[in-house]
Structure formats: C-alpha cells, structure tokens
Amino acid sequence: MSQFNENAKWRYATKKYDATKKVSEADLATLKEAIRFSASSFGLQLYKVLIVENPEVRAQLQPASWGQTQIVDASHLLVFANQTTVTEADVDAYINNVAATRNMPLESLTGYGDYMKGAIANMPEEVKPIWTAKQTYIALSNLMNAAAELKIDVTPMEGFVPAQYNEILGLDILNLNAALVAAVGYRHEEDATQHYAKVRKSNDDLFITL
C-alpha cells in the first residue's frame, strides 16, 4: 500500500506532454484491463471507452476542449462515454455474460436479472444518464492508478464541450454521451507543473470520524 501512496504522490494532472513518446502496446493493454475490471453499479458497465489515436480526429476535438494541447500531444486520448438510456436488454446481456463466464444455468440468474430490471424501471429517465455517467469516474480512477504504477501520465479532463464531442465522434447515434476525457502519455521535461508540491487538505480537514 505504501507504493500505492507513493504513486499517488508522483502523479499529477500533466499540462504538457512529450509528443514524441508513445505508450507501448503492452502498457496500453494493461491500462485497458484496469479499465475493464473497474467496479460499476450492478457490474453493468454502462459506458464505452473510445481510444482516439487518429491525429485528424484529435485536431477536431482540440477546439472542443478549450484548446488544450494535451488533446493532440498526448500519446493516446481516451473518451469515456456513458449510455444515455438503459434498457432491459442491457441487463439481459449482462446476465448472459454471467452465465457464460461462470458456467451457470441461465434460469438460475432470472431472479437477479428481474431485481435489476425492477430497480432500473423505477429510476426516473432523467436520472439514468447521471447514474451511468458516474460510473465512468470509477473507471477513470482505475486508469489513473494503473498508469501511475507504470509511470505513465494521465490528465483527467472535464474541460470540453460534450455536445461537440458527441457530434465529432458520432456518439449520439450510439446512445452515448462524452462524460470524461483522459489524455495518456508522458510528461514533457518542460512541464513546470510536475515540480509543484502536491496540495491536499490535511487529515483533520478531510476526515470526520463518528
């Protein structure tokens, strides 16, 4: 756990990336697994993660990202896109996956599937995209922690215009919405931010023991 904390102290929201350095395919596969095994509500993983490598697409996304250079300079750009609606088909797909993965009879999972369907049916429609968007933050956290272990930089970003991302990436027709962006790569030696002392609340300010 001490190494985990040291990794957390090492990482920071990188402002300037070295565009000449690329994340290897092996390390990218590790980061993808970290995202894939993230916790999510009911285990449904109601989002997609777009890995944007195409420089032309990233150039289109930069103006929709307040002009931030990380969008085009980082090795990879990940867009976490939450589902805007949730249906019974999403639950059925998950239940089928559980049955296949655990070699269980499908009928033994009917009760659990019905429970999830009932919970989702009782959720107001306007709440569903908020709920699914929250799940992307958990996946982003896993990405950041795994990357820090590999000494790969990640910049979590909310500074972008989701509607423009949705249009550029064609997310609307996929029932998706851009919720979060993460630039992934290696800090530039000229990024002064890496030398700043990390500022956080003290334990006394942050935690309340009851």
CA dihedral 93, 82, 141, 199 (to 10 degrees): -160
**In this structure, are residues 13 and 155 in contact, taking their beta carbons and an 8 Å threshold?**
yes
What would the two tokens of residue 136 be?
């992307």
Low-confidence spans in the chain with pLDDT less than 70: 1
pLDDT at residue 146 in the model: 98
3-class DSSP state of 66: coil
What's the CA gap between 91 and 112, in Å, rounded?
10
What's the CA gap between 73 and 78, in Å, rounded?
13
pLDDT at residue 1 in the model: 56
Residue intervals of the chain classified under CATH 3.40.109.10 are: 2-84+132-206
pLDDT at residue 3 in the model: 95
pTM over cut 0.85: yes
pLDDT at residue 2 in the model: 76
2-84+132-206 CATH: 3.40.109.10
The closest of 83, 75, 46 to 155, measured between CA atoms, is 75
Edge to edge, what strands does the sheet with 76-83 contain? 47-52, 76-83, 176-185, 153-157
Q: Which residues contact 132 (CB under 8 A, 6 or more apart)?
A: 46, 47, 82, 83, 84, 86
Write out pLDDT tens, residues 95-130.
Answer: 999 999 999 999 999 999 999 999 999 999 999 999
* Partners of 177 in the β-ladder: 82
